[in-house]
Copies of this chain bind each other. A is one copy, B any other.
């Protein structure tokens, strides 16, 4: 079943690139109201394209940009494929070497690329799956599985319509497993399936000491300085081993499964190179863990911003009234973001000198996501990816949070396989975004292999 599909994919690559370029020409910037019509245009184009391969697809209005939903019958496993058709703004325009919405095929020292805003994030990735389905349909007349398609147009602007839409249409959207194509390869030769994502809990804390800014000559030495209080609190949040000191913080942090640990170890991740690219050399996290554990399976406390007093040029002898910091925690396992928020606040309050007050502002609270990899789809997809790429595919973690995976679990009770073909140098969200033609071509072939494997896996 698979081999003629792969041949078809190879033969049809020029046409597939033409279709992607057509989609890339639509400037579907979701965050800017001036581009609203272009978002609708992209949604319509996708619905039409799905219909052209036998998927019953339509756009659905939301308070924001439309959703695209389509269904195709097929045997066995019911898959749901998610992607987003909206893109980031292209600013600053003057840093682009070619117009962001005039996609160009370019030969570079690292290979042929398609350069445009959205080429990698996420139009190119989304179309890898659509093209795999197109080829399958062309060769066999049907799709290999029952497949639902779900594209949103607000991913780059906070997805305000997503959860309400999922809740209102849960019965229609629910499938056996979700496929999400918005992530990357582990490295240029090694494909990856993300099976665990860290959660995130953010807090903004503002310490107030005196009720007005004071002169440090008049008051310095007698009045409490809120920067002093804030820095003492922040400095107490890590111990000498890089562990977070919030009481009970490690409740729910699981030991890493030995098999997973071994497979991560086999990836031979070069943390020297990873850190070296940003001018660092030392692993600064929780001591006694590997780099990939620090990034994927261990929780963190990071300081994302701090401000207080005079921060302009020169010097001002002010003793400020307020100082504040933005603090975030990456969470793993079953760590409870709400409990950690409470414990963090209690710890901060306990460190406050009598004269100071603190205000807290909550910024998000999402638990970690852990996929149940015992579903046979995971192993089947891994094998399929391994057949396409030079190195065997890996189950990996993600240090960041990809909210959609958690939403599918929470609202639709589906696990998700996060599989993508982006490369580190794709410059997503930046000028000169590109997608390697290799990512696109082998991505399409990868999905064809995965569909074949899932068809047989059931």
Contact = CB atoms under 8 A, between A and B. Distances in A.
Interface string A284-328: 111000010011001110111111111100111111100101101
Nearest to A323: B306
Nearest to A325: B227
A302 B225 contact: yes
Interface stretch (A72-80, A119-127, A211-219): A211-219
A95 interface: no
Interface in A190-247: 198, 200, 202, 204, 209-212, 214-225, 227-228, 230-232, 234-236, 238
A330 B282 contact: no
A217 B304 contact: no
A220 B330 contact: yes
Copies in the complex: 2
A221 B353 contact: no
Interface stretch (A3-11, A104-112, A393-401, A411-419): A393-401
Contacts of A221: 285-286, 294-295, 298-300, 302, 330, 399
A294 B232 CA distance: 21
A454 to B, nearest CB: 29
Nearest to A400: B217
Interface residues of A, number: 78
Interface stretch (A50-58, A141-149, A271-279): A271-279
Given A202-B315, A225-B302, A231-B303, A284 B353 contact: yes
Interface in A255-282: 271, 274-275, 278-282
Nearest to A238: B228
Interface of A: 198, 200, 202, 204, 209-212, 214-225, 227-228, 230-232, 234-236, 238, 271, 274-275, 278-286, 291, 294-295, 298-300, 302-311, 314-320, 323, 325-326, 328, 330, 353-355, 363-364, 398-401
